[in-house]
Amino acid sequence: MTSNPMTAKPRKQPALRFKSGDDVSELRKKLGLNQTEFWNKLSVTQSGGSRYESGRSIPGPVRLLLHLTYGTEKQAGDLLDWLRQKE
């Protein structure tokens, strides 16, 4: 039996998969995508993505989108459950 995420006990935010631009750049290259292809899925410009990959701090909402888009199904599901839980 699965628990309803709307009534489940509040949990801590799951650890996000991508902590730095180096992590993102490594994955992008592993997937064989150029910056435009990779970042367009997140509605981030190529130039913005390039800045993140070069060391600029990645904003929280972009980190969440990275996790949902490029994380595993389980990682994305855990994050969605956390986002949907009641305060």
pTM of the model: 0.80
Number of domains present in the structure of the chain? 1
Asked if residue 3 is part of any domain, the answer here is no
For the stretch 10-61, pLDDT in tens is 578 888 888 899 999 999 999 999 999 999 999 999 999 999 999 999 999 9
The residue ranges of DSSP E strands in the chain, in sequence order, are none
Asked if residue 60 is part of any domain, the answer here is yes
Which amino acid would we find at residue 77? G
Opening angle at CA 65, ends 45 and 68, nearest 5? 135
Asked if residue 34 is part of any domain, the answer here is yes
The Cα–Cα gap between 16 and 1 comes to 27
Asked if residue 16 is part of any domain, the answer here is no
Asked if residue 41 is part of any domain, the answer here is yes
pLDDT, residue 1, reads 46
Identify the domain containing residue 29 by its residue range: 21-84
Asked if residue 79 is part of any domain, the answer here is yes
Asked if residue 11 is part of any domain, the answer here is no
Asked if residue 7 is part of any domain, the answer here is no
The Cα–Cα gap between 76 and 64 comes to 9
